[in-house]
């Protein structure tokens, strides 16, 4: 997996950019919130990335902040929300506005985002409001490492309730490896 990339920004063709790194040009799809804050072409850029490997493509998504990447990863876990819709959400409203819409169950704000209809907006509200594990507010408060730790524990088969119990006791700045080790020790007792 490609977790981040640093290189020279050589092209901006929304929503795509191209970053050249050691002679290789990486095409990266970014939300508009990231695109607006990128430096001018031919300047160095650093992006956090999320790579999706499908049967027919290898796609790279880029973000300037850990909060954006973490939000993107949480959004694509929602049933029926793919990468395109997640990017549309991050491009259409700020993360704070989105969290407020979820917490206030404001369907009218969500349906203003391109690609979000009434049913999708209602599904987002239900899944993100009711499932603490997918709550973006929790994710952005804890940072990317804790999100990765939660993902690893879920992949190991632990329940979301058990994961929430141990995650709240971990430091926000703990490394992924140390966090997984500590959480596994607590879960095995």
* Residue 36: Cβ-neighbour burial (10 angstroms; 0-12, 13-18, 19+): exposed
What phi-psi label fits residue 157: left (phi over 0), alpha (psi between -120 and 50 degrees) or beta? left
Higher pLDDT, 189 or 106: 106
Higher pLDDT, 68 or 11: 11
Mean pLDDT, range 151-165, rounded to an integer: 79
Say how far apart CA 189 and CA 176 lie, in whole Å: 20
User: Which has the closest alpha carbon to 74: 86, 58, 84, 92?
Assistant: 86
Q: What percent of the chain has pLDDT over 90?
A: 33
Confidence (pTM)? 0.67
Domains, the chain, with CATH or none: 4-63 (2.40.50.140), 67-134 (1.10.150.20), 143-189 (1.10.8)
* Helical spans, DSSP H, in 16-143: 32-35, 66-75, 83-92, 95-103, 107-110, 118-130, 136-142
Tens digit of each residue's pLDDT (9 = 90 or more) over 29-75: 999 989 999 999 999 999 999 999 889 989 999 999 888 888 888 88
């Amino acid at each position: 997996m490609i977790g981040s990339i640093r290189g020279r920004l050589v092209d901006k063709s929304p929503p795509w950019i191209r970053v050249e790194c050691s002679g290789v040009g990486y095409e990266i799809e970014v939300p508009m919130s990231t695109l607006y804050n990128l430096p001018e072409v031919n300047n160095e850029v650093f992006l956090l990335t999320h790579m999706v490997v499908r049967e027919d493509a290898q796609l790279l998504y880029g973000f300037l902040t850990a909060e954006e990447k973490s939000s993107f990863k949480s959004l694509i876990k929602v049933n029926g929300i793919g990468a395109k819709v997640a990017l549309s959400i991050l491009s259409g409203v700020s993360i704070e506005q989105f969290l407020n819409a979820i917490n206030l169950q404001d369907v009218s704000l969500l349906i203003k985002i391109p690609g979000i209809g009434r049913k999708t907006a209602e599904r987002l509200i239900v899944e993100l409001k009711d499932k603490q594990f997918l709550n973006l507010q929790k994710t952005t408060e804890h940072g990317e490492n804790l999100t990765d730790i939660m993902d690893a524990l879920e992949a190991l088969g632990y329940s979301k309730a058990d994961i929430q119990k141990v995650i709240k006791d971990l430091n926000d700045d703990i490394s992924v490896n140390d966090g997984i080790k500590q959480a596994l020790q607590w879960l095995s007792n």
